[in-house]
């Protein structure tokens, strides 16, 4: 064992391998740097629309080109009933008003984590020999919705399509 200098404490077993503020501190700083980089990259890859958009409508929101009206060969009355049934069983969704003559349903969808309420407007209109389903989802609060309105619309369209055209 080394002898201690007059004003220094005697070295303890294994202390000569770790200088003060050495490897442990560097590992922590490296881990924090990597975490910050990954977080920054993660936020950088989030679509810009998530931060600036809180109102999405099928066929009318260029930021979501995949969110298009659902075309069906079924008559409007059948599509309306299918939509009403889907909304009735969809989690955290409440139908507020339904007018079958006008082909319009108003509903509220509550987000899972923060319990924000988004307003839904669903319209079923005649299109040729069938019908067209249009959906609008609008956040009541905030400037951006982190993509929730588009996800809600996609989910509703998917469920209605499954209802109308079972596999």
Strands 55-57 and 130-139: antiparallel
Mean pLDDT calculated for residue range 141-151? 92
pLDDT tier at 46, thresholds 50, 70, 90: low
Full-prediction pTM beyond 0.85? no
- Distance of CA 153 to CAs 31, 88, 118, Å? 39, 15, 11
Supply the mean pLDDT for the chain. Answer: 86
Question: Would you give the distance in Å from CA 35 to the centre of its chain?
Answer: 23
Each residue of 62-96: pLDDT tens digit? Answer: 999 999 999 999 999 999 999 999 999 999 999 99
Mean pLDDT calculated for residue range 47-72? 92
Question: Would you give the distance in Å from CA 9 to the centre of its chain?
Answer: 58
Confidence check: pLDDT of 128 > 60:
yes
* SS3 of residue 135 by DSSP: strand
């Amino acid at each position: 064992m080394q002898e201690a200098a007059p004003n220094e404490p005697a070295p303890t077993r294994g202390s000569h391998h770790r200088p003060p503020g050495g490897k442990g501190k560097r590992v922590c700083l490296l881990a924090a740097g990597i975490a910050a980089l990954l977080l920054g990259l993660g936020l950088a890859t989030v679509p810009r629309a998530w931060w600036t958009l809180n109102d999405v409508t099928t066929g009318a929101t260029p930021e979501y080109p995949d969110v298009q009206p659902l075309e069906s060969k079924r008559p409007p009355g059948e599509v309306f009933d299918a939509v009403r049934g889907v909304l009735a069983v969809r989690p955290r969704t409440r139908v507020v008003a339904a007018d079958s003559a006008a082909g319009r349903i108003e509903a509220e969808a509550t987000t899972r984590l923060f319990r924000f309420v988004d307003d839904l407007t669903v319209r079923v209109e005649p299109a040729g020999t069938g019908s067209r389903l249009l959906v609008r989802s609008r956040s009541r609060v905030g400037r951006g919705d982190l993509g929730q309105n588009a996800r809600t619309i996609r989910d509703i369209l998917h469920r209605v399509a499954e209802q109308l055209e079972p596999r």
